[in-house]
Every structure is written in structure tokens, then in C-alpha cells.
Structure 1
Amino acid sequence: MNAMRKLEHIFTNNRTRKRLKIRIFKACVESIFLYNSELWTVNKTTANKIHSFHRRMLRKAINIKWPRKISNEQLYNKTKHHQQKWSNIIKTRRIRWYGHLQRLPEKTPAKISLQEARRTIKRSRGGQVTTWLSTIEKDLIELDLSVEDASHLAHDRREWRKVVRISRALRSPEPDASQ
């Protein structure tokens, strides 16, 4: 929100082209919001909140204010060549990070923590149900990959880049049309 406030003079200027506003939005707002997002665990509720926030910021970026209304579908159509849903970007980044994590040396702290997270332990009641590992497993299942296959495939960078490209191509079929 702070980045949006600092750039408000650009977004409210009617002389600035929409394409330029979207480029500035991607560079200055989206990059801040999605910083380190490959480590987030995103469930449906969180994804809906992210989408809602994204649409609100897009409306501000292209200067659409009340009483002028446009549907979410129209908003995505206006910015379709420049924007994709943030949850898709997060998913792609998470898959890319998983490949990087698999290629790290065994003594790296991140690799050690991954091995520790995979260890089966009895969990206490309550707590977080959705873990990063369960989220990445769901992402890999959507790509028709098992965790073992993905772990082996990740060691070949060229092949893993293909997997990341496929994940980028798998977008939700239609934008959410609700307001």
C-alpha cells in the first residue's frame, strides 16, 4: 500500500498511458508484494485475499474509482497482456525454488531444513495444516509429477526449466468474475 501511495500521482494522472501505469505497477508494487513469495503457503482463502488485493491495486493503478465500476473480468481483460494472477506467479516461483533447493549441496542450511521437514514426526493437535511441502506436492501433482520424479528431474536444469514453463502456462481457465 505504501508503494501505491507514493506512486499515486502517476496512477491518477489521466495523461499517463495505461500500459506505462501497468509497467510501473509491476516494477514498483508487484515486485514488493511478491518478494520472497516462493516460500509462502497459499491455500484457497489466502489466494482469494491475494486476488482481491491485486484487483483493488490494479483498479487504483489504472484509475478506476467509484461510481465508475468494472467487473473483475473486464479488469483482467483491460490488463490481460500485462498481468497474470499473483497466485499463478507465486506457484511458478515456488516450483522454480523447489528445483533450486533440490540442486543445493547437502550441507546447505536450506537443504538441511528441507530434509528435516520431510522427517515424519507426531504432530501435536492444532497448528498449521497447510505446510510448504504439502503445497509444493499439490503443485507437482498438477504438473503430473511425483515428489521423487521432480527431485530427480530438478538436477537437470534444462528439464526443470521446461517444468517451470509448463507451470507458467497452466493458468486458471477464467478470471473470477465476482466483485
Structure 2
Amino acid sequence: MYWFSLFFCTLYGEDWKKVKKVGSLLGDTEDIERRKQLSNLALEKLSRIWIRNDKVKQVTRLNLYRALVKSILLYNCGTWSLTKQEEHKLSTIHRRQLRTILNIKYPIVIGNNALYQKTSETPISLTILEARWRLYGHVLRQAINTPPNFAMTKYFKREGRKQRGRPKTSIVTTLRGDLKSHNNDHWPTRLHSINDLDHLRDIA
């Protein structure tokens, strides 16, 4: 299956990124753009609820938003490997949607921290971080011969000369960045070899 996937990607070039599986596009950037469009469409369909501040309580509007809009925006987000630019765009859309829920429009202004506090929301980057490591933890706890663990083992055991230049953003580089910024003595700060991977498996 691994080699078939590699052959498929080589044969069809970048087109594989637009293939939809289990509701998500295989390409992270393509899937994120689609998630943003779908969530904004869902938000617009419920516009009559958002503008009725006097009829629908804020807590009810926020619960509806989380169930019917935010869930669409973050569907399968644990698999994403985000660039800083993509993370910033998602955070901007999230805050814009929250302001819509509260019916806050110019010239009314509210800061980001005040917005999160008022809505009891957390920055979307933290939500995605939690989802990513929850998913990765499930993978690490699975048997070694399962497809995700097999793919990881093959990745870290691969031989040959490394490519020059800065590596492309991938789920591996994203996880490495998470570990570097995670200040915890019980967790490793690197993910570069099969030994590092085994260390994470032992902790998980």
C-alpha cells in the first residue's frame, strides 16, 4: 500500500491533493481552504440567528456556532501540517466568525484577548495543537504493524542523502516544532530518528 501510494502520487503529480477521502481533501492547503469556505457558508446560513441578540442568548448562539460552524472549520484538523501563514489565516477567520456571533461591527472594536474571554474560546492554534497530539497519541499507542506506525517506522529508517535546503512543511516537521516549543522534562525535544520515535511510543 505504501509503494502504491508513492506510485500514485508520482504518476498524477499534484492532482492527488484534490482527491477527497472521508470528507477531507488529501492536500492540507487544499483542505484548509475548503474548510474555510464551508464554515463561512454555514455561518451565513445561520445569519438570522446571529443578528437576533435580543431573542437568542449569547450562550445559545455560541453553542450553535461550535456545533454547526466551528466543527466544519476544524474537521480532521489533527492531520494538518500548518505553516505559520495558514495558522494565522485560520485564527483570523475564527475571530471574525466570533465577532459575527456577537454582532460586533465597526465602529465597535474589541481586542482579541477580550473576544476570547467574552466567548470562553481559546485561540484556534491551541485547539489544533491539542487535536494533532491527541491523534498522534492514538497512533503511537497502536500496534507496530498498523499502517500509520509502519509508515512512521519506514520514514525514520529511510537511508540516503538528505535533501538540501529547508524541509517542506509536513506533519513530521510540525510535530518537531511542537516538541521544541514544549517545556516538559518528561517529553523529548526532538524527533529525528527511530530512537526518538521509540521514546515517544514508550511515553504514550
Partner amino acid, structure 2, of 1:27: A
Deviations 1:20-66 (A, max 9, x none): 11111111111111111111112322221111111011111111122
Structure 2 CA distance, aligned partners of 1:9 and 1:131? Answer: 40
State the shift of 1:92 in Å.
0.8
Structure 1 CA distance, aligned partners of 2:183 and 2:200? Answer: 10
Instruction: Judge conservation of contact 1:38–1:90 (CA < 8 Å) in 2.
Output: yes
Identity of aligned residues (%): 31
Partner amino acid, structure 2, of 1:139: D
Partner amino acid, structure 1, of 2:127: I
Q: Number of matched residues? A: 152
State the shift of 1:86 in Å.
1.1
Of 19, 40, 44 in structure 1, the residue corresponding to residue 84 of structure 2 is: 44
Asked which structure has the greater RCO (Cα within 8 Å, sep 6+), the reply is 1
Of 43, 63, 75 in structure 2, the residue corresponding to residue 35 of structure 1 is: 75
Residue of structure 2 in register with 1:106 after alignment: 144
Further displaced range: 125-134 or 105-114:
125-134
Structure 1 CA distance, aligned partners of 2:199 and 2:80? Answer: 23
Structure 1 residue runs without a partner (length 5+)? 155-179
Residue of structure 2 in register with 1:85 after alignment: 123
Structure 2 CA distance, aligned partners of 1:2 and 1:65? Answer: 19
Structure 2 residue runs without a partner (length 5+)? 1-39, 189-195
Residue of structure 1 in register with 2:201 after alignment: 151
Structure 2 CA distance, aligned partners of 1:106 and 1:119? Answer: 14
Partner amino acid, structure 1, of 2:152: L
State the shift of 1:137 in Å.
2.3
RMSD of Structure 2 on Structure 1 (CA): 2.1
Bigger-Rg structure (1/2): 2
Q: TM-score, normalised by structure 2?
A: 0.66
Structure 1 CA distance, aligned partners of 2:167 and 2:156? Answer: 15
Structure 2 CA distance, aligned partners of 1:3 and 1:39? Answer: 22
SS at match of 2:85: helix
Alignment partner of 1:129 is 2:179: no
Q: TM-score, normalised by structure 1?
A: 0.75
SS at match of 2:145: coil
Alignment partner of 1:17 is 2:77: no
SS at match of 2:65: helix
Partner amino acid, structure 2, of 1:31: S
SS at match of 1:55: helix
